[in-house]
Amino acid sequence: MRDTMIGFYDYTVILTYISLASSILGMISACYARIGWAIFFLGMSGLLDTFDGKVARTKKNRTEDQKRFGIQIDSLCDIVCFGVCPVIICWFSGMQTPWEVSILIFYCLAGLIRLAYYNVMEEKRQQETDEKRKYYQGLPITSIAVILPFLYAISNLCQDNFEIVLSLAMLLTGLLFVLNFKFPKPNNKQLTVLIIVVAAVVLYLLFCFNWKEYYGWNLSDLMFWKHKKG
């Protein structure tokens, strides 16, 4: 495969590719006002991203080129999954005024800066040590896969001001991406609890939350990829 196509093709990157596909489905869902499904696919991308590094590390004979490729492909997918996809979701959720769009641009730019900086520092760190990372510098960009579902889950508590809450949350999240502070990396138990909680919230939003009541959207039509004319 390597002789006929550029790139590396093995099981270590499969979850990253599926995560990208999930975020694309999330953006398409948002474009058709299927916000519940958009949040579902965003959460799915976050779940897959949680395990892609663990899967990659199971291959003990990775070359340095494969490791570097893994870092790059993970970050490139992250900017789509957790940078662009949340912006699309928020825009179709009503963040469409000039100042709200400015916040979305800042959020995506902050995520891009964070990922580029991470690439440089992580490659340097891996050359110096093989020990696992205990802290992140700043808030991980994947945290939006937790933040957005919770915001939408409590949106009924601030119906009239939800756009303001959403805008402030996106602005603060973007700032936390680029602020230099230590964010503890969750251990396996904490990660398991977090995954269960986020999964419960996403399922609630998808199947129980009355989107039509709050936003006028019809979630019952699952054929979101079919454009209906007339």
Question: What pLDDT, in 10s, does the model give residues 93-103?
Answer: 889 999 999 99
Does the pLDDT at position 227 exceed 50? Answer: no
Per-residue model confidence as pLDDT tens digits over 145-201: 999 998 988 887 777 788 899 999 999 999 999 998 888 877 777 777 777 888 888
- Residue 19: the pLDDT is 92
> What mean pLDDT comes out for the span 60-70?
76
Handedness of CA 144, 145, 146, 148 (dihedral sign): positive
Residue whose token pair is 């474009």: 31
Q: Reduce the DSSP state of residue 129 to 3 states and report it.
A: coil
Mean pLDDT across the chain, nearest whole number?
A: 81
Listed ranges 13-17, 64-68, 74-78, 103-107; the one with the highest mean pLDDT: 103-107
Q: Describe the crossing of helices 85-92 and 98-128 by its angle, rounded to 10 degrees.
A: 160
Length of the chain: 230
Does the pLDDT at position 217 exceed 70? Answer: no
When the candidates are 1.10.10.10, 1.20.120.1760, 2.40.10.330, 1.10.10.520, the CATH number that belongs to 11-215 is: 1.20.120.1760
- Residue 216: the pLDDT is 45
Percent of the chain with pLDDT over 90: 37
Q: Reduce the DSSP state of residue 58 to 3 states and report it.
A: coil
- Residue 128: the pLDDT is 64
Distance, CA of 93 to CA of 26 (rounded, Å):
13
Residue 170, CA atoms < 13 Å, CB-side half-sphere: 31
Nearest to 90 by CA among 5, 163, 185, 14: 163
> Where does the pLDDT of residue 228 fall: very low under 50, low under 70, confident under 90, or very high at 90 and above?
very low
Tokens of 126: 């891996």
Nearest to 130 by CA among 221, 62, 204: 62
Tokens of 13: 């990157």
Residue 67 CB neighbours (<10 A) = 18
> For residue 60, what are the CA distances in angstroms to 32, 64, 73, 98, 116?
43, 11, 19, 50, 26
- Residue 25: the pLDDT is 95
> Where does the pLDDT of residue 56 fall: very low under 50, low under 70, confident under 90, or very high at 90 and above?
low
Per-residue model confidence as pLDDT tens digits over 14-52: 888 999 999 999 999 999 888 889 999 999 999 888 887
Does the pLDDT at position 230 exceed 50? Answer: no
More confident residue, 208 or 143: 143
Task: Specify whether the backbone of 138 is left (phi greater than 0), alpha (psi in -120 to 50) or beta.
Answer: left
